[in-house]
Amino acid sequence: MKKLVCLFTIATFLISCGNSSKLVNTTAANTDTLRYAEETHLKNIQQLTFGGDNAEAYWSYDGKYLIFQRTSPKDGIPCDQIYIGKVPTKKGQKFEYKLVSTGKGRTTCAYFTKDGKHIIYASTHLGSNECPPVPDRAKYGNKYIWPLYSSFDIFMADLDGKIVKQLTTSNSYDAEGTLSPDGKKMIYTSTKDGDIELYIMNLETGAEKRITNTLGYDGGAWFSPDGTKIIWRASRPKTEADIKEYKDLLKENLVAPTNMEVWVANADGSNARQVTAYGQANWAPTFMPDSKRIIFASNHEYKRGFPFNLYTINEDGTNLQKISRDKGFDAFPMFSPNGKKIVFSSNRNNGGTRDTNVFIADWEE
Per-residue pLDDT in tens (0 to 9) along the chain, 365 residues:
544 433 333 433 333 333 335 565 433 334 689 999 999 999 999 999 999 999 999 999 999 999 999 999 999 999 999 999 999 998 889 999 999 999 999 999 999 999 999 999 999 999 999 999 999 999 998 889 999 999 999 999 999 999 999 999 999 999 999 999 999 999 999 999 999 999 999 999 999 999 999 999 999 999 999 999 999 999 999 999 999 999 999 999 999 999 999 999 999 999 999 999 999 999 999 999 999 999 999 999 998 888 999 999 999 999 999 999 999 999 999 999 999 999 999 999 999 999 999 999 999 99
Q: What is the largest CA-CA distance in the chain?
A: 60
User: Mind spelling out the 3-state secondary structure of 204-219?
Assistant: CCCCEEECCCCCCCEE
Residues 361 and 46 sit within 8 Å (Cβ to Cβ): yes
From CA 319, how far away is CA 317, in angstroms rounded?
7
The residue type of 317 is G
From CA 337, how far away is CA 357, in angstroms rounded?
21
User: What's the confidence (pLDDT) of residue 11?
Assistant: 36
**How many Cβ atoms sit within 10 Å of the Cβ of residue 337?**
16
Instruction: Name the β-bridge partners of 8.
Output: none
User: What's the confidence (pLDDT) of residue 91?
Assistant: 83
Backbone angles phi, psi at 75, to 5 degrees: -100, 15
User: What's the confidence (pLDDT) of residue 304?
Assistant: 87
User: What's the confidence (pLDDT) of residue 23?
Assistant: 63
Continuous segment of H or E residues that includes residue 250: helix 240-251
User: What's the confidence (pLDDT) of residue 5?
Assistant: 37
Q: What angle do CA 214, 167, 284 make, to 5 degrees?
A: 50
Residues 346 and 23 sit within 8 Å (Cβ to Cβ): no
User: What's the confidence (pLDDT) of residue 92?
Assistant: 84
Residues 14 and 27 sit within 8 Å (Cβ to Cβ): no
User: What's the confidence (pLDDT) of residue 25?
Assistant: 42
User: What's the confidence (pLDDT) of residue 172?
Assistant: 98
How is the chain split into domains, by residue range? 11-18+49-342
The residue type of 167 is L
Task: Please tell me the pTM assigned to this model.
Answer: 0.93
State which CATH number among 3.40.50.620, 2.120.10.30, 3.40.50.1260, 1.20.810.10 fits the domain covering 11-18+49-342.
Answer: 2.120.10.30
From CA 221, how far away is CA 174, in angstroms rounded?
13
User: What's the confidence (pLDDT) of residue 22?
Assistant: 58
User: What's the confidence (pLDDT) of residue 31?
Assistant: 62
